[in-house]
C-alpha cells in the first residue's frame, strides 16, 4: 500500500506543478507597442497573482480528507479511515490547485483582452 500512496502523491505533485508551469497566453502582436505591452503584461500578471491558490488548496484538501475519511469509515476499520482521508486530501488539494490555476489564467487573459490585446488561446 505504501507504494500506491507514493505513486499517488508523486502524480499529484507533478500534476499541480505542471499546471503552475502553464504556457503564457498567445497574443497577436501585430501593431502592438512593445513598451506598453510589457507594462500591461506586468499589470495583468499582478492581478492574476491575487487569486489565492494556497487557501483554495488547503480548503480542498480539508474537504477531500473529510470525505475520504467518511468513505473509509464505511469499511469499518481505522486504517481505512486514515487511508481514505489521505487519498481524499490529496485529490481535493490537487483538484483545488487546478481550479485556482485555471482561474489565474482566466483573470490574466481577461485583463489583457480588456486592455485591447487579441488573446488567441
Q: Between 10 and 47, whose confidence is greater?
A: 47
**Chain mean pLDDT for the chain:** 75
Statement: residue 6 has pLDDT above 90? no
> Quick check: 61 and 92 in contact, CB under 8 A?
yes
104 Cβ neighbours under 8 A, 6+ residues apart: 48, 49, 51, 53
Hey, where are the domains in the chain? 2-119
pTM given for the model: 0.59
The reported pLDDT for the residue numbered 62 is: 64
pLDDT in tens, 89-118: 777 777 777 778 888 899 999 999 999 999
What are the tens digits of pLDDT across the range 17-46?
555 555 689 999 999 999 999 999 999 999
In this structure, the strands spanning 27-28 and 118-119 are antiparallel
66 pLDDT band, cuts 50/70/90, is low
DSSP 121: -
Write out the three cell numbers for 18: 505542471
The better pLDDT of the pair 119, 90 is held by: 119
Amino acid at each position: 500500500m505504501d507504494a500506491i500512496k507514493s505513486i499517488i502523491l508523486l502524480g499529484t505533485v507533478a500534476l499541480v506543478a505542471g499546471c503552475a508551469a502553464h504556457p503564457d497566453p498567445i497574443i497577436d502582436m501585430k501593431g502592438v507597442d512593445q513598451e506598453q505591452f510589457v507594462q500591461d503584461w506586468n499589470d495583468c500578471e499582478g492581478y492574476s497573482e491575487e487569486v489565492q491558490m494556497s487557501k483554495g488548496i488547503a480548503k480542498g484538501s480539508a474537504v477531500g480528507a473529510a470525505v475520504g475519511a467518511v468513505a473509509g469509515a464505511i469499511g469499518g476499520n481505522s486504517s481505512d479511515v486514515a487511508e481514505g482521508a489521505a487519498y481524499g486530501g490529496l485529490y481535493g488539494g490537487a483538484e483545488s490547485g487546478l481550479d485556482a490555476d485555471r482561474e489565474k489564467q482566466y483573470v490574466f487573459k481577461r485583463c489583457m483582452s480588456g486592455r485591447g490585446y487579441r488573446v488567441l488561446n
